[in-house]
């Protein structure tokens, strides 16, 4: 099977000698072990790879130097060396056998009673004391459009008679995004400026975006790539997927409306995309796989996008939430307010289908490439993953718990994405958070 299988690292009863890993609701128990690239906050240390356990980061370079992994299999030690580097690309390029060997070695070293405890204790750094960077060198970034609910809701705003384009249920829709403006959680960016066509006007105006939105998505990191001209078959696609993060593809809806015909989003999307620092491996997500289903009345996927294993368990049940923190709520100490909650299981196309489709024409994917899922909206109105849906295209402002309202984002707003997985007979695992904040537009642009 190309799909990661359950093994001893997933056993729910496993406990770590790091007590915080057992705290209820902890995103990073022993069954998770996601990867990030970090350093101590405010230091001039070099960036290095780390793995989350409880409220700590295991510094992998320090873990290697401690000798705790001297007896681990060679492939685990070599993978650990790559995982300790300032970007995860070398680890991503290794492939699933080595990722799995590394995960097993880490799991055994961090378990209660492990002989490695004495050596590894000094390789831990509290997460509260670290800062992160984008975990891979992202050569290319592709954003898909895999939520049929989002596509229908958006389509209804612009084309009430034909919300979905005729190709939607046949082909995974995507566009090539911009890798240079992807930032890690904590990213703050100036409100973008550009051309918009004001209501009733015959010519465009230039100025700050007035309809700034977030998009709740997941990001999929490519592991080992494929040679140019050699498509990745659907049955092998998951061998080329390293892991998953939270992703916020900020969108300037007024700029988008004026520019996107005929070639799609451009400046409306490429000013900022925020990813969570932690990459949850595909293997860690094995307990949360669910069937990929198509309504009987819908077209069934063409053969290159169809596979028995995908039908059985191609989708992933990741719970997702969007929270908003405003200047006022921050100042009053009230914290963030939840705007919506949904699950990735509602997506119309699976991660493997995206990889198979992306490469079917011979396109070469490379380690560290990032695929966005597109906005993940569920079937119910309160499961929408963007303000443009929650406010019906800006016509119905969203009432917030603190008595204020939002149509689109205001300066000072921070949007926080959270994600986690839970299922009977499995340990709950989480993704941490993906936070970004809107700053005022820069003065004197143009």
The catalytic site residues sit at 150
The CA-to-CA distance between both ends of the chain, in Å, stands at 55
| Listed residue (171, 175, 162, 83) closest to 371, CA to CA | 175
Are β-strands 212-213 and 251-252 bridged in parallel, bridged antiparallel, or unpaired? antiparallel
- Two structure tokens written together for 330: 């921050």
Those residues whose C-beta lies under 8 Å from the C-beta of residue 100, and which sit 6 or more positions away, are 4, 7, 283
CA 143, distance to chain mean position in Å, is 11
- Phi, psi angles (nearest 5°) of residue 254: -75, -40
CA distance 332 to 334: 5
Q: Most distant CA pair in the chain: distance in Å? A: 73
| Listed residue (95, 381, 118) closest to 241, CA to CA | 95
């Amino acid at each position: 099977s190309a799909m990661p299988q359950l093994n001893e690292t997933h056993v729910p009863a496993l406990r770590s000698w790091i007590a915080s890993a057992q705290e209820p609701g902890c995103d990073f128990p022993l069954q998770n072990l996601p990867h990030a690239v970090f350093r101590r906050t405010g230091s001039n240390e070099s960036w290095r790879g780390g793995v989350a356990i409880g409220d700590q980061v295991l510094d992998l370079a320090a873990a290697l130097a401690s000798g705790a992994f001297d007896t681990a299999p060679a492939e685990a030690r070599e993978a650990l060396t790559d995982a300790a580097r300032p970007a995860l690309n070398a680890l991503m390029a290794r492939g699933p056998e080595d990722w799995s060997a590394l995960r097993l070695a880490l799991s055994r070293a961090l378990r209660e009673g492990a002989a490695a405890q004495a050596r590894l204790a000094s390789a831990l750094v509290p997460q509260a004391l670290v800062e992160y960077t984008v975990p891979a060198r992202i050569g290319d970034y592709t954003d898909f459009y895999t939520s049929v609910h989002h596509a229908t809701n958006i389509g209804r705003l612009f084309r009430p008679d034909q919300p979905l384009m005729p190709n939607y249920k046949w082909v995974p829709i995507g566009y090539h995004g911009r890798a240079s403006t992807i930032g890690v959680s904590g990213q703050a960016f100036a409100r973008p400026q550009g051309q918009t066509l004001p209501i009733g006007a015959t010519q465009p105006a230039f100025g700050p975006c007035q309809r700034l939105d977030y998009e709740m998505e997941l990001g999929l990191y490519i592991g080992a790539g494929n040679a140019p001209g050699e498509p990745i078959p659907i049955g092998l696609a998951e061998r080329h997927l390293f892991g998953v993060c939270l992703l916020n593809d900020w969108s300037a809806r007024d700029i988008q409306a004026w520019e996107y015909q005929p070639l799609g989003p451009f400046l409306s999307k490429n000013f900022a995309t925020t990813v969570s620092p932690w990459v949850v491996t595909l293997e860690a997500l094995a307990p949360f796989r669910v069937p990929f289903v198509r309504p009987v009345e819908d077209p069934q996927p063409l053969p290159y996008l169809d596979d028995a294993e995908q039908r059985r368990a191609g989708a992933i049940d990741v719970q997702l939430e969007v929270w908003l923190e405003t200047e006022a709520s921050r100042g009053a100490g009230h914290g963030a307010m939840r705007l919506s909650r949904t699950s990735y299981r509602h997506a119309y196309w699976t991660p493997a289908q995206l990889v198979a489709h992306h490469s079917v024409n011979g396109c070469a994917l490379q380690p560290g490439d990032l695929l966005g899922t597109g906005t993940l909206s569920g079937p119910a109105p309160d499961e929408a993953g963007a303000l443009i849906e929650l406010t019906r295209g800006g016509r119905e402002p969203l009432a917030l718990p603190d008595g204020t309202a939002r149509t689109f984002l205001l300066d000072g707003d921070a949007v926080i994405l959270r994600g986690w997985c839970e299922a009977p007979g499995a340990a709950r695992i989480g993704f941490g958070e993906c936070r970004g904040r809107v700053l005022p537009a820069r003065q004197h642009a143009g």
